[in-house]
Chain A
Amino acid sequence: MPKSQNINPKIVREPKFIEFGKIPVNQYNKTIEQEKKSFSNEDFIRIYHDMVVIREFETMLNLIKTTNEYNGIPYNHPGPAHLSIGQEAAAVGMAYTLEVEDYIFGSHRSHGEILAKGLSAIHRLDDEALYTTMKNYFGGNALKVVEKEYSGTGIKGLAKDFLLYGALAEIFARENGFNKGLGGSMHAFFTPFGIYPNNAIVGGSGDISVGAALYKKINRKPGIVVCNIGDASMGCGPVWEGITFATMDQYKTLWDGEYKGGLPLIFNFMNNLYGMGGQTMGETMGYDILARVGAGVNPESMHSERIDGYNPLAVIDAFRRKKQILTEKKGPVLLDTLTYRISGHSPSDASSYRSKEEIEAWQKEDSILSYGNSLIEAGIAGKGLLDEIGSGTRELLSRILKLSINDEISPRIDLHKDPDIIGNMMFSNCSVDKMEDRKPEVLLPMEENPRVKSLKNKERFFKDKDGKPFSKAKLYQFRDGIFEAVVDRFYKDPTLAAWGEENRDWGGAFAVYRGLTEALPYHRLFNSPISEGAIVGTAIGYGMCGGRVIAEIMYCDFIGRSGDEIFNQLPKWQAMSGNIIRMPVVIRVSVGSKYGAQHSQDWSALTAHIPGLKVVFPATPYDAKGLMNSALQGTDPVIFFESQRIYDIGEMFQKGGVPEGYYEIPFGEPDIKRKGDDLTILSIGATLYPVLKAADILLEKHGLNAEVIDARSLVPFNYEPVIESVKKTGRIILASDASSRGSFLKEMAQTITELAFDYLDAPPVVVGSRNWITPAYEMEEFFFPQPEWILDAINERILPLRGHIPSTDFSVKKAIRLNKEGV
C-alpha cells in the first residue's frame, strides 16, 4: 500500500449502498437506412463479403473434416478444426473498426476472428505496406505461392489470397503457414496484421492480452487490444485474474502523467452460449447475462454491455463506442457479444446437448442471411451480387485449398532433412541490450539511488584478508547481486518493467527490489494483485509484444497458481509462432523454507520438465548477478529460482568479490566450487552449502577429497564438466532441496549414467528432500538434505566409509519400501 493514499477508517466504515449503473443489453436499434451515414455501400458490401469468406472457409473445413472433400477436392485433415459457423457477424463486426496496430487475441475457435482482422488490416494497409509485409514474411515463401496463381488485379486481392493461404496452410501444418505449421488451427496468428496468438487453452488469452495492453500502455504504443474469448472462459481463473489485473485502481490513481488511466483493452466475450457442451446461460454459470459480471469488477462496471453479435452493424457500433472509451483511458471494457455457433464444437460434436429446434431457430436468424436480405431490402446490393460473392469465394477457396494441400507447393517442415528444426526453434537465444532504443524512464540517476550508494560500502567478499567473516550488515549479499543486475537493466532497456506482489514500496517480500521504488516510475515497477496466473500471463503478453519484463512469484509453491501460464503459455509461443515471437520474460521464483508445507518447496523440476523454458538456480551472489544479467540480456523465458535461505549470504568463492561492473554468466555452465579427486558432488541451489559441509567432513574424517560442482543452471545444462569430473572420480552424489522423487537430480543422474557409464564406480546417488510435506522449521533437519545424509548415501551406495555411523537409512530395502508406499 503506497503511503500516498491513506485509508481512512471514518470513510470506509460509513454505512452506504453500492449503486450499480445500468448495463445495456442489445440496445442497438438502428436500421440500415440510419447507418448509411456511417457506411458507404462498399463498406456494407465488404462486411457481407468478409462474413461470407469466413463462412465459406469454415464450411470448407467442416466438409473436409466430415466428408474428406470440398468442392470435389479430396483431403484428409486429422488435426483440430473448432469452427465458428454462425459467429461471422461477431468476428467481422469486432475487426471492422480495428486499426492494423490494434491487436486481437483469440481462442481455439478463432479462425473467423483471424480472417476478419486480416481482411480488415488488408483494407487499411496501403499496397506498398501490404506487399512489403508479405514479401518479408518468411522470405516471401507464401507470397510466391499465391502470386503465381493469382489471376486478379491489385495487391489487396493478392493479400486476401495470402491471408487465406497462410491461415489454411497453418491449419494443415504446412511450412508456408503463418507459423510454419507449428501453431496450427488453434494457435494460428499473424502479427503484421495485428493478429496475436489464439490460444487452445480456454481463457488462455484472458491474462496474456492484459499484458499486451500493458505493453501498449507502458511503452506508449498506439492501438488497443481485444481479447476474444468465449463465454465459458468466464469460469476460468486466468480470465478473472486477467480482469482483476486489468482493472487495478492504480492505473487511474497512482500511475503518473500520461501513463495515468485505464488499459486500452476490450475483453470481448464471444458469447455463443455454450462451452463445448455446457450451457453457460442456464446451466454452468450463474450470471444469466454475461455482461452482468462487469458490474462486480469496478465502479465503471467495465463499461459492460451485451451486444447483438448476430448483427455486424450492432457489433461495429459497440466497438466504435468502446474504442472511444479506451482512447479516453477509461478502459478496460467488457463486451458480451451474443452470438451462436451453428456448427458443433468440433466435427465430432453430435449436438447431444441442444435441441434441433434451437439450432433451427438460430439458423432462421442466420446473420449472413439476414444481413444480406437487409442489404437487398435497402437497395445496397442485388441478389446477383451477393450470389457472386458467394460463388467467387467458393472458387477462391477451392484454389487456395488446392495450393495448401499440394505437398510440393506446400510441404511441411522437413524433419527428415533437419531433425532438429523444431528443437532449434524452442529458444531464440538472442543477446539484446534493450528491446527498444529510447531513453529509459527513471526517477533519479542510478548513482543517486540509496541502495546503489549503500552497496558501494558493502564487502563483496565474505571475509577480510585475515579470514574473518564480515557481519551481515557489512556484507554484499545474494539479494544485492540480483538487485544490481536488475537495476542495471532498468537503466539500459526502456521496455523493462517488473511486477509482482509487494514489488513496489516493500521492495519485494525479501528486499531484493529495495531501492527500485525510488528509481522507477509506477508504470515500470508496480504491485500486482495476488494473481499469480495473471502475474505470469501478463508478463507473457508483455513479452510477446516486444517488451522485456521481470515477473515475480513470491514463493515457488505458488507456481501452481500460475500453472497454465508457466507450463502451457510461456514456454510454447516462441516455437509455436515459427520463431516470429520472442519471449524476453524472466520469472523470479523465490524458494522458501521455515514456513511449512505450502511455502518451502523446490519445484524446479516441474519447470525444467517443460520444453521451452530456461531454468537457473544460482547459489552465490556472483552467480546470481551474472545469471540475472544473462537472463535480462536474453530473449527467452527464464525461470530464475532464488532460495530464501541464502538471500543474505556473502560471496565465498570469487576471491576478488562480486564485480561492481556488468558481467554475464552463460546459462548452462555448471561451476566447480571446490576441486577434488575422490568423488563428485553436484548440487542445485542453496544445497551447495550443506554439500560443502559434507565435503569438509569427508576430507577430515575419511580423507576423501570431494569435487563440488554447483549446477547453477538446469536448462540448458552442459554435462561436459560434470562428466569430466566423473571420469576423474568415478563417483557422483547429487543433492538439492527438492523432494527426491522426480526431482531434476534424477534427470541429471540418469543422464550422467548414460553419458559416463563406463567411468562410474557406483550409481549416481540422489540426495533430495523427503517425499513428505515440509514440516515446521524446527523439524526441517529431518526433511531437507543434511551434510550427514550425503555421507550416509556415500556409505551405503557408493563407498563404505570406515567408522561412519549412518544417521539415515539409504538401504536398498528402505528405498524399495518407500517407493512402494509412495513416500
Chain B
Amino acid sequence: MATAVIMPKQGQSVETCIITKWFKQKGESVSAGELLFSYETDKAAFDLESPEGGILLDIFFPEGSEVPVLANVAVVGRQGEHVSSFNPGNSSISPPEQVNQIPAAPAYSGFTESDSSSAKPDHSTIIRISPRARLMAREKGLDISSIKGSGPNGRIIASDITSATPAKPYIQQAAPSSEAFSKPSVVSSGSDYSDTPLSNVRKIISKAMHASLQNSAQLTHHMSADVRKLLETREKIKKAVSEKKEQQDITLNDMICWCVIRALEKFPEANSHFLGEQIRTFGKIHLGLAVDTPRGLMVPAIKNAGDFHLAALSKALKSAADSCKKGNISPELLQSDAATFTVSNLGAYGVEMFTPVINLPQVGILGVCTIIHRPANLGNNFFGFVPYIGLSLTYDHRAIDGGPATLFLKEIKNQIENFSL
C-alpha cells in the first residue's frame, strides 16, 4: 500500500506552505528518512523526510506550489501502485488557491495575452530563469529566489544577475544582524528605479505593521538610563568568558531584556494583549525579541521568560535569534500573539531614538537605542560624562494611559541603573 506524504501543519495558524525544493524526482527511489522536499511557511523553512522507503510514485505539487497543510504532496510506494486516489486534485478537496503568484505585467509593451502564460496555477510560482542566468547566479553565489527577472514573463536573465548584489542564501547561513540592513537583492529594471516583489515575509510584515498603525492608538515616550552598571557587568562577563571562567557570554541586550522582564513583573498592565472589548493580562512574561534576518523582521517569543535566570535568558534569546536567522524557528513562536511584550534593539546601529511599532495585540514595545555619553551630575555638583542608553517605549493608549506607561518606562530605567547580578 502506497503511503501519502502530507504537508505537515507547522503550527496552528499555518494554513499553507510553499514547496521550495524537491530533492527527489518522480520515479526515484527514496529510503525512509531521506530528504524529500523543503518547504516554507510565512516565516520559516523546513525539510521533510520521507516517512517510508520506496519509489516516489507521484508528486502532486511542483516546486513553488503553495500547498494547504495536511494535503497530500506526494506518494511513496512500490512501483506500479495506484496513486491517482492520493492526488488532492482528484478528490473533493478543491485545489489549493494560488496566493503567491509571480507578479505578472512585465514592464514592457507587449501583447497582453502573453501574460496569460501564468494561467496554469501549478506553474505560476516557479522561478523563471534562463540557464545562463542560473549558471551565473551559481558562480556568484546568488540566491535566485530574491531576484526579479526582467526578461519575458519575468524570466531572470543574465543582466539581472549582473546587476544583482551578491547575497548569501538565506537558509544555509545565519546572517549577522548588520546584514539585515544591507540593500535587498533587487533587480534594477530601469535606469532610475528598481522594482522588488514582496517576499512572503515582507508581505506579512507590511500587513502587520500597517494594521498596527491603523488600528491602535500608539505613541512613544523616550527616556534614557545610565548604563554604567550594565557596562561594568558586561566588561566583567567578557573578561570571565575570555578567561574561560564563564561559558555564557551575556550581552547588553540580554541584560536590558532582563531588566524589562523585571519591570514587567511590576507593571502587569504592560504585559498584556488589547483584544478590543477586553484586555488580557498575562501572568507569565513571554518576551518578544525583534530579530533582523535577511528575510526580514522576525519576532520570536521567549516563552516564560520571567522564569529564566540571566544566563538562561541569554541562551534563550540567542537561540531564538539563531533559529530565526536559520529559518527553522517554530512558526508558533512567530505569531504576534505568542509574545506579551516586545523588545526591539537598534542600539548597535547608533539609533538615538525611534518609534517602534507595536505588534498587535500586544500593548507595548520597547525600543532600545544607542548609548550616548551625557554630562551628568556625579554628586556634589560634580559633572562628568555618563553613558546613557536611550529607551523608546511605544504603548497603545487604548490599553495604557500615559502615566502608567511613563512609570513603567521609569521602572525599566531603574532596573537598568540599579542592575546587579
**How long is the Cα–Cα vector from A800 to B189 in the complex, in angstroms?**
10
Assuming the A-B contacts A761-B157, A762-B130, A762-B151, are A804 and B117 also in contact, with contact meaning beta carbons closer than 8 angstroms in the complex? no
Let me know if A814 is at the binding interface, CB within 8 A.
Answer: yes
**Does any Cβ of B come within 8 Å of A797's Cβ?**
yes
Inter-chain residue pair count (beta carbon < 8 A):
74
The answer to whether A761 touches B133, judged by C-beta atoms less than 8 angstroms apart, is yes
B 139-157 to A, binary, CB cutoff 8 A, 1 in contact else 0: 0000000000011110101
- Are A805 and B109 CB-contacts (below 8 A) given A758-B132, A761-B158? yes
Q: Is the CB of A760 within 8 A of B132?
A: yes
**A812 in contact with B117 (CB, 8 Å):** yes
Whether A800 touches B152, Cβ cut-off 8 Å, given contacts A761-B158, A806-B111, A813-B113, is: yes
The reply to whether the CB of B193 lies closer than 8 angstroms to some CB of chain A is: no
Of residues 72 through 126 on chain B, the ones whose CB sits less than 8 Å from some CB of chain A are: 106-111, 113-114, 116-117
Q: From residue B410, how far is it (CB to closest CB) to chain A in Å? A: 59
Interface status of B131 (Cβ within 8 A of chain A): yes
A795 is an interface residue with CB less than 8 A from chain B: yes
Q: Are A796 and B131 in contact (CB under 8 A)?
A: no
**Residues of B contacting A813 with CB < 8 Å?**
111, 113-114, 116-117
**Contact (Cβ within 8 A) A804 B109:** yes
* B-facing residues in A720-734 (Cβ within 8 Å): 730
B107 contacts which chain A residues (CB < 8 A)? 800
Q: Distance (Å) between the CB of B111 and the closest chain A CB? A: 5
Chain B residues near A803 (CB-CB < 8 A): 109
Contact of A798 among B131, B133, B151 (CB under 8 A): B151
Known contacts A800-B150, A802-B108, A804-B108; A814 and B113 CB within 8 A of each other:
yes
- B-side contacts of A699, CB under 8 Å: none
From B106, B109, B132, B153, A761 is in contact (CB under 8 Å) with B132
**In the complex, chain A residues whose CB is within 8 Å of the CB of B113:** 809, 811, 813-814
Binary per-residue interface labels of chain B (351-386) against chain A in the complex, 1 for a CB within 8 Å, 0 otherwise: 000000000000000000000000000000000000
Q: Which of A759, A800, A806, A809 contacts B106 (CB 8 A)?
A: A800
> How many angstroms between the C-alpha atoms of A757 and B133 in the bound complex?
11
**Chain B interface category by residue count:** 20 to 34
Give bound CA distance, A806 to B113, whole Å: 13
The answer, yes or no, to whether A801 is at the interface (CB within 8 Å) is yes
Once bound together, how far apart are the Cα atoms of A730 and B153, in whole Å? 18
A359 interface residue (CB < 8 Å to B): no
- B135 is an interface residue with CB less than 8 A from chain A: yes
Q: Is A799 an interface residue (CB 8 A)?
A: yes
Instruction: Report the bound CA distance from A759 to B152 in whole Å.
Output: 17
Quick check: A758 and B110 within 8 Å, CB to CB? no
Contact of B155 among A730, A762, A809, A811 (CB under 8 A): A762
Give the distance to chain B from A678, nearest Cβ to Cβ, in Å. Answer: 10
List B133-192 residues whose CB lies under 8 Å from chain A.
Answer: 133-135, 150-153, 155, 157-158
Which of the four size classes fits the interface of chain A?
20 to 34
Contact, CB under 8 Å: A809 / B157: no
Given contacts A761-B157, A812-B117, contact A800 B110 (CB under 8 A): yes
Q: In the complex the two chains form, what is the Cα distance from A812 to B153 in whole Å?
A: 10
**In the assembly, what is the distance between CA of A806 and CA of B111, in Å?**
8
- The answer on a CB contact under 8 Å between B130 and A811 is no
Instruction: Tell me the minimal C-beta distance from A47 to chain B in angstroms.
Output: 68
Task: Give complex CA distance A375, B107 in Å.
Answer: 96
Q: How far is the CB of A195 from chain B (nearest CB, A)?
A: 54
Q: How far is the CA of A811 from the CA of B130 in the complex (A)?
A: 18
B110 CB, min distance to chain A CBs, angstroms: 6
CB–CB A796/B114 < 8 A: yes
Chain A positions 382-396 with a Cβ under 8 Å from a chain B Cβ: none
Are A800 and B151 in contact, with the CB atoms below 8 A? yes
Residue of B nearest to A762 (CB): B130
Q: How far is the CB of A213 from chain B (nearest CB, A)?
A: 57
Query: Contacts of B155 on A, CB cut-off 8 Å?
Result: 762
Say yes or no: A812-B114 contact (C-beta < 8 A), given A797-B152, A802-B108.
yes
Interchain CB contact (< 8 A) of A811 among B111, B134, B157: B111
Within 8 A of B (CB), among A748-775: 757-762
Contact partners of A797 in chain B: CB under 8 A: 152
**Residue of A whose beta carbon sits closest to that of B161:** A761
Q: Is the CB of B135 within 8 A of A758?
A: yes
Report the Cα distance A798→B135, complex, angstroms. 17
A774-823: which residues lie under 8 A (CB-CB) from chain B? 795-806, 809-814
Q: A813-B113, A814-B111 are in contact. Are A762 and B157 (CB under 8 A)?
A: yes
- Give complex CA distance A810, B151 in Å: 14
Q: How far is the CA of A760 from the CA of B130 in the complex (A)?
A: 6
B169: min CB distance to chain A, Å: 20
Provide the bound-state CA to CA distance between A730 and B157, in Å.
9
- The answer for the CA separation of A757 and B132 in the assembled complex, in Å, is 8
Give Cα distance in the complex from A309 to B352, angstroms: 117
Question: Which of A761, A796, A813 has most chain B Cβ within 10 Å?
Answer: A761
Cα of A796 to Cα of B133 in the assembled complex, Å: 18
Residues of A within 8 A of B150 (CB): 800
B34 → chain A closest CB, angstroms: 28
- Bound Cα distance A760, B151 (Å): 13
Known: A806-B110, A811-B111, A814-B113. A799 touches B157 (CB 8 A): yes
Q: Write out the residue numbers on chain A whose beta carbons fall within 8 Å of the beta carbon of B151.
A: 761-762, 798-800
B111 touches A800 (CB 8 A): no
Residues in A neighbouring B117, C-beta threshold 8 A = 812-813
What is the bound-complex CA distance between A61 and B132, given in angstroms?
60
Pick from B107, B109, B111 the residue with the most CB of A within 10 Å: B111
Q: Which of A759, A762, A800, A814 contacts B108 (CB 8 A)?
A: A800
- Residue contact A811 to B132, C-beta cutoff 8 Å: no
**Given the complex, which residues of A lie within 8 Å of B157, measured CB to CB?**
730, 761-762, 799
Q: A730-B158, A796-B152, A799-B157 are in contact. Are A759 and B132 (CB under 8 A)?
A: yes
Point out the residues of chain A lying under 8 angstroms from B135, CB to CB. Answer: 758-759
Q: Which residues of A contact B158 (CB under 8 A)?
A: 730, 761
Contacts of B114 in A (CB 8 A): 796, 811-814
B106 touches A760 (CB 8 A): no
A759, A799, A801, A804: the one within 8 Å of B131 (CB):
A759
Contact in complex: A730, B130 (CB < 8 Å): yes
Q: Across the interface, do A796 and B132 meet the contact criterion of CB distance under 8 Å?
A: no
State A814–B117 Cα separation when bound (angstroms).
11
> Given A800-B151, A811-B114, does the pair A806, B131 have CB atoms closer than 8 Å?
no
B-chain residues with CB within 8 Å of residue A796 when the two chains form the complex = 110-111, 114, 152
Which residues of B lie under 8 Å from residue A805 when comparing CB positions? 109
Q: Contacts A800-B150, A800-B152, A812-B117 known; A795 to B108 CB distance under 8 Å?
A: yes
CB-based contact A798/B116 at 8 Å: no
Q: Which residues of B contact A760 (CB under 8 A)?
A: 130-132
Q: Given the complex of chains A and B, what is the CA–CA distance between A809 and B153 in angstroms? A: 15
Q: Would you call B110 and A761 a contact (CB within 8 A)?
A: no
In the complex the two chains form, what is the Cα distance from A470 to B206 in whole Å?
Answer: 68
**Other 17 A-B pairs with CB < 8 A, given A759-B135, A761-B151, A805-B109:** A761-B130, A761-B132, A762-B130, A762-B157, A795-B110, A796-B152, A798-B151, A801-B108, A804-B108, A806-B110, A810-B111, A811-B110, A811-B113, A811-B114, A812-B114, A812-B117, A813-B113
> A residues touching B (Cβ–Cβ < 8 Å)?
730, 757-762, 795-806, 809-814
The 7 closest A-B pairs by CB, nearest first: A800-B108, A811-B114, A761-B132, A761-B130, A813-B113, A730-B132, A761-B158
**Could you list some 13 contacts between A and B, CB below 8 A?**
A730-B130, A730-B157, A730-B158, A797-B152, A799-B151, A800-B108, A803-B109, A804-B108, A805-B109, A806-B109, A809-B113, A811-B114, A812-B116
